Amino acid sequence: MTFWIVAGLAAFILGLSKGGMPVVAILSVPLLSLLMDPALAAGLLLPLYLIADCYALYLFRKAFSVRNLKILIPAVGVGVVIATFAVSSVPADGVKLLLALIGFSYLFNAIRKRLAQREVEPKPADVPRGLFWGTLAGITSYIAHSGGPPYQAYVLPQKLEKMSYLGTTAIVFACLNWMKVPAYIYVGQMHWQSIQQALWLAPFALLGAWSGAQISRLLPEKIFFLLIEIALGLVSVKLLYEVLFQ
């Protein structure tokens, strides 16, 4: 019973991210890892991501950044390939520390610019930065469904309109999650039993996606992105705490 309660909560949080609250998804694997191996937790959640992705694509299908898609989709694919062959040699704490530093670095720059009280010009999408951050997002997403911080570090400075941001995010991560399926099956992280468990949890993921969509649509754009930055900061603190004290 404890497993199903925790797994249902992890599925709901995952769904929230697909409905328009992207950064909170990084909490799902650590939450489920309290009761099972992190690699198996990632495998159990992947089918739920695929189901929730379909809903997210439907919700945000009308607005997206074509240029970002052209840059990021190949980049995350490269990241998945790298992670597939290198994951066994990458320490979990090293990945957590990297994600925390990325989050803190972005937030530090954002706060510094706000304190300087000057309007920051949007950074346009560019290939070198997109390939770097996209590849990193593919690697960290493969390991623990935690591609959010690298993705945010690249996309948030562009200051996309809210629905375009959500649509771009939905498409990139839907493609990324399908790219992970063959590798997860090959290494045994996803199997028939985990797929059956995921089907029982699917209603929680869809409920979360619906809830996230209602919240994201009601929030004004400035508050929406401020909440994403706050969530990014909380997640970064959590990851750093796990590295230093657990």
pLDDT digits (tens, 9 = 90+) for 59-110: 888 889 999 999 999 999 999 998 888 766 666 677 667 767 777 876 777 6
Rounded mean pLDDT, 224-239: 74
This prediction's pTM: 0.76
Q: How far is CA 105 from the centre of its chain?
A: 18
Closest CA to 213 of 19, 14, 16, 59: 19
Alpha helices of the chain — where are they, by DSSP H? 2-19, 28-32, 38-59, 66-86, 92-115, 127-144, 148-155, 162-187, 192-218, 221-245
Here the tokens at position 198 are: 């995921």
Task: Indicate whether 130 pLDDT > 90.
Answer: yes
pLDDT mean across residues, the chain? 81
Question: pLDDT band at residue 118, thresholds of 50, 70 and 90?
Answer: low
CA 235 to each of CA 11, 27, 70: distance values in angstroms, whole numbers, following the listed order: 17, 8, 28
Instruction: State how many domains the chain has.
Output: 1
Q: How far apart are CA 235 and CA 39, in angstroms?
A: 19
In this structure, the number of other CB atoms found within 10 A of the CB of residue 135 comes to 22
Rounded mean pLDDT, 8-24: 77
Question: pLDDT band at residue 119, thresholds of 50, 70 and 90?
Answer: low
Task: Indicate whether 112 pLDDT > 80.
Answer: no
Range of the domain at 43: 2-245
